[in-house]
Chains A and B, each alone.
Chain A
Amino acid sequence: MRRLPVYLLLDTSGSMTGEPIEAVKNGVQVMISSLRQNPQAIETAFISIITFDSVAKQVVPLTDLASFQMVDIKATGTTCLGDALKVVSTCIDNEVAKTTAEQKGDWKPLVFIMTDGIPTDDWQSGLEEFKKRKTAYTVACAAGSGADSNLLKQITENVVSLDTADSQSISKFFTWVTASIGVTSTKVEDGGKEVTGLGELPPPPSELNIVT
């Protein structure tokens, strides 16, 4: 069976303390339980969580929805987005199966990045690594005024922004991510077609601004 790998890169730097980090945790929980109700998603989608603060780490390896359990995450430290891009590149190498004559590989991974600040590390070198990996699409979300949408634009053309990083906006972002994963898993299962960009995803809610 071909899996649909989904990587969530979540900013857990100090500035996320309080309402934002709680909203992120809650957002992931709600996302997982609602995807479990979607027959296509529960069979194809595999989720991994990578957090980044002073260092990036994969806190949940690529896991099928049925076995997925969210771990506790805490906000602390700086914003090593570059490290996160390196970590996700390594994870894609290790976890996403390639198609060969003898086996059907996985679908190209989906990557969602959410950050509320400006990277504090050498993010370009991380980006260089990340660009070598193939994804179906990467969506970056600039949460609140502290994030730099233009910088995220260099990582992916699909950038959305939230005016404020409050729990309502963050939860809307995750609702939209949920719908996007749902639509993508349906498309790959039905038509054997991969989704390639924002245009094929459900329209974002009004809280989410598409950065052009």
Chain B
Amino acid sequence: MTDIKQVVTKLFKSNNISIPANKNELFDKFLQDEKNAASINVIVQNLNELMAKWKLEDKVIEIMQQPVRVLNATVGKPYETKFDFNKFNWKDIVAFEFKGLEEVGLRYDEKTKQITGVPTQSGDVKVTFRFKVDGQPEDAPFNEKIIPFIINPDPKSLWKNVESDKNDPHWKENDVTKFAPLGDRHILVSSKRGRSHANVGSFREDDFAFKDLENGWSIVVVADGAGSAKLSRKGSAIACNSVVEFFTQKESAEGLVQFDELLQQYKNNTGEDIQKKLNHFVYNNLGKAAFQVHKNLESFAAKENIPLKDLNSTLIFTLFKKYDVGYALLSFGVGDCPIAVLNKDVTEVTLMNWLDVGDFGGGTRFITMPEIFKNEKFATRFGFKLVDDFSYLMMMSDGIYDPKFVVEANLPNIKKWKEFLADLGGKNEDGVKVELKADNKEIEQQFSRWMDFWSTGNHDDRTLAIVF
């Protein structure tokens, strides 16, 4: 009774009708009148119904308006994210379903409260969350909330593999992998066009060459044409061929013969200033070769009427020969390609050259630059080592060095080289294994597959030469 009285009093009051105390008794009677009581009942019922309806609608609207974000997914990558109603403070959901998840390879697991699966297609997907809240009649339609859901394309699928123009006068094969005997050892070498070049149908700019020379010497050359230079693919090819050509010439071969004598003195520690003489020898013979490369590039540029810098290329080469006392290794390097020698039991690494890495990315030096020959550092570009034996001689372009060693500081670290060898041995994401054995019939195929490793952000040309 008091309840009803209150309701009606309030109702009257809101319509400017107040009940003074002296009319209280009359008002009570008024309320008790059967017909009036029935009317009040209807009013109260309607009011309650109205309020309940509003509360229900409000619940739905709250959920509809609440911004909900789910983690972005990527095609082909296992996906898993919490979609927990409690976390969103959705307590009144009694029925729900997702629409649009299954179409893209995902599902909702009620037990774990997770959206899981492997997305099958990319795009800005609109997932519909259909739900009913407590209090909604059973036959009421579902409420629908659109949840924006981003599925990224698989980055690997975005790279195109566009054929390079075979009619180009300076065309170069995209991928080359070779295995051959070299000196008393073997060489495994591969040079591959980077994905960034394949993506636009441009050419491989790396190059390599190797050869057994007379008098027991062998040579390996690697060159990396500059990405910014128009004809660097030709520059690196000329560089590699010129070095080999130089040492094949009669005079150069004769020049190398003197080394036998010098080494003997070095070994016996006889002869005056033997270290100086050796340095001199290396400087003279290898320096001439480097200068010859420069000259050849210069004359090619002149002939083609192009600026020399269009042929910009780095260059490293190593000569090695087996003596009774061990292996003699001679090297030259300009640019950012390392030459490393690993000792027999892989406990030590010897770096034959220092790298031209500028203060900023791309600050390297090229064999096309005349200033390198005049620079005081020129003499330090040569290397000479006499080692008892070696397990591997490795030469690589930055397409390998960047993803596998990242920074120069890692090169003198034998641990990094052991990891690198383990990687070659199959310890990698795809489990691709190269068995570095001379009798491995599959060695070229294995190595070629290994060279295709995926490394985010590293899609330059790759060249790796391994003498073992």
Q: Which residues of A contact B (CB under 8 A)?
A: 1-2, 33, 36-40, 42-44, 65-69, 72, 101-104, 107, 186, 188-194
Query: Smallest Cβ distance from A158 to chain B, in angstroms?
Result: 20
* Additional pairs, 19, CB under 8 Å, beyond known A39-B155, A66-B74, A104-B407: A1-B456, A1-B457, A36-B122, A37-B158, A39-B159, A42-B158, A43-B456, A67-B71, A68-B72, A69-B69, A72-B67, A101-B407, A186-B196, A189-B457, A189-B460, A191-B228, A192-B227, A193-B227, A193-B228
Chain A residues whose C-beta falls within 8 Å of the C-beta of B228 in the assembled complex: 191, 193
Q: Which of A1, A36, A101, A191 contacts B152 (CB 8 A)?
A: A36
In the assembled complex, the Cα of A101 lies from the Cα of B406 at a distance in Å of 10
For B227, B361, B458, the residue with the greatest tally of chain A CB atoms inside 10 Å of its CB is B361
Q: Is B124 an interface residue (CB 8 A)?
A: yes
In the assembled complex, the Cα of A33 lies from the Cα of B458 at a distance in Å of 23
Q: Is B134 an interface residue (CB 8 A)?
A: no
Known: A191-B226, A193-B362. A43 touches B150 (CB 8 A): no
B147-181 near A? 1/0 per residue, CB < 8 Å: 00010110100110000000000000000000000
Contact B406 A103 (CB under 8 A): yes
Contact B74 A188 (CB under 8 A): no
Chain B residues whose C-beta falls within 8 Å of the C-beta of A43 in the assembled complex: 155, 456-457
In the assembled complex, the Cα of A2 lies from the Cα of B124 at a distance in Å of 27
Contact B72 A194 (CB under 8 A): no
Q: Which residues of B contact A (CB under 8 A)?
A: 67, 69, 71-72, 74, 122, 124, 150, 152-153, 155, 158-159, 195-197, 199, 226-228, 360-362, 406-409, 456-460
In the assembled complex, the Cα of A123 lies from the Cα of B409 at a distance in Å of 42
In the assembled complex, the Cα of A193 lies from the Cα of B228 at a distance in Å of 8
Known: A1-B458, A43-B155. A190 touches B361 (CB 8 A): no
Contact B152 A40 (CB under 8 A): no
Contact count A vs B, C-beta below 8 Å: 75
Query: Smallest Cβ distance from A210 to chain B, in angstroms?
Result: 25
Chain A residues whose C-beta falls within 8 Å of the C-beta of B226 in the assembled complex: 191
Contact A190 B460 (CB under 8 A): yes
Q: Which residue of A lies closest to B358 (CB)?
A: A192
Query: Smallest Cβ distance from A65 to chain B, in angstroms?
Result: 8
Can you give 24 A-B contacts (C-beta < 8 A)? A1-B456, A33-B124, A36-B122, A37-B153, A37-B158, A39-B195, A42-B153, A43-B457, A65-B152, A66-B155, A69-B69, A72-B67, A102-B407, A104-B406, A188-B361, A190-B196, A190-B197, A190-B459, A191-B227, A191-B362, A192-B227, A193-B227, A193-B361, A193-B362
Chain B residues whose C-beta falls within 8 Å of the C-beta of A193 in the assembled complex: 227-228, 361-362
Contact B124 A194 (CB under 8 A): no
Contact B72 A38 (CB under 8 A): no
Chain A residues whose C-beta falls within 8 Å of the C-beta of B195 in the assembled complex: 39
In the assembled complex, the Cα of A190 lies from the Cα of B232 at a distance in Å of 13
